[in-house]
Amino acid sequence: MTDAERFDAHVAAEGKVEPKDWMPDAYRKTLVRQISQHAHSEIIGMQPEGNWLTRAPSLRRKAILLAKVQDEAGHGLYLYAAAETLGTSRDQMVDDLIAGKAKYSSIFNYPTPTWADIGAIGWLVDGAAIMNQVPLCRCSYGPYARAMKRICKEESFHQRQGYDILVSLCRGSDRQKQMAQDALDRWWWPSLMMFGPNDDASPNSAQSMKWRIKRFSNDELRQRFVDATVPQAHFLGLRIPDDELRYDDTAGHWRFGEPDWEEFHRVLAGDGPMNAHRIEHRRRARDDGQWVLDAASAHAAKRRRPAA
């Protein structure tokens, strides 16, 4: 048996892979790609919600949102640390992001014009993230699976707080309910795009599923998300912005229309409403915060030096 054959048999038998184990270069490469992009998404994802920290409608909502945004920073930390076990560095990953060589989730390139958008992000974006991240807790690569277990523990709070914002708005004035509907109209389709292109247009899925990185296909997880979320929208008394939406009694699934894949690829190519703003903000944070990193590294180096 070759190393590659032994490796494939190991992961096919649900074996875990640890940093010091032999692994195909392509396995390492696709994990650095996926985990670093996941980490970038967590950190960039702090911007749209951070935009409302100073404008939350009450001290309670502000404290909840602050806790959530801080959680996302921690999620990014876990994921960058998991990616670094594959031989890349934090600096390299962030440089690749800012240079446009690495992606982050398309969903974070949309604006948050009202407080209802913060509710829609928690409910839909974190709801989609939960659907996609729970299977990753069983990923074949040990550090990624362990990071996901920690992250998933916090995601359900993220989704609940977003849904709770929309429950309040939908039980409020007509204007507040309309704000919630407008936010659902803005975030519904971009949330479906979070699961990636259709399976027949996904270049990475087949191999990622063979290597037990991905447990379910993009379309399977998208369908699960729609089936779980449509009844929640109906409970709020909101309309899903999809004229093709209908329940298929025989299959037991909600049938839905096709996302605008041209918009998806346009946003991935950097032409979304907020792409330039998000990357410029991330570049400024890296550059303006460099002195903190330098000071911390100098202090750590001094402590390592033997006393004279």
* Residues in contact with ligand 3HC by the rule CB under 6 A: 33-34, 37-38, 41-42, 45, 72, 75, 103, 105-106, 125-126, 129, 132, 193-197, 202-205, 208, 214, 218, 268
Please identify, using beta-carbon distances, which residue of 128 and 238 lies nearer to ligand 3HC. Answer: 128
In the complex, the smallest distance separating the C-beta of residue 48 from ligand 3HC, rounded to whole angstroms, is: 9
Q: Which residues of 163-199 are buried (b: 16+ CB within 10 A; e: fewer)?
A: bebbbbbbeeeeebbebbbebbebbbbbbbbbbbbee
In the complex, the smallest distance separating the C-beta of residue 71 from ligand 3HC, rounded to whole angstroms, is: 8
Take residue 95 and report the two structure tokens written for it. 């440089």
In the complex, the smallest distance separating the C-beta of residue 125 from ligand 3HC, rounded to whole angstroms, is: 5
- Cα 130 from chain centre: 9
In the complex, the smallest distance separating the C-beta of residue 196 from ligand 3HC, rounded to whole angstroms, is: 3
Please identify, using beta-carbon distances, which residue of 72 and 96 lies nearer to ligand 3HC. Answer: 72
Take residue 62 and report the two structure tokens written for it. 């502000």
Q: Hey, CA dihedral for 148, 71, 49, 272, is it positive or negative?
A: negative
Please identify, using beta-carbon distances, which residue of 75 and 177 lies nearer to ligand 3HC. Answer: 75
Please identify, using beta-carbon distances, which residue of 176 and 228 lies nearer to ligand 3HC. Answer: 228
Q: Hey, CA dihedral for 189, 191, 194, 196, is it positive or negative?
A: negative
In the complex, the smallest distance separating the C-beta of residue 190 from ligand 3HC, rounded to whole angstroms, is: 8
Helix, strand, coil percentages (3-state) for the chain, rounded to 5, are 70, 5, 30
17 strand-pairing partners:
141
Please identify, using beta-carbon distances, which residue of 23 and 35 lies nearer to ligand 3HC. Answer: 35
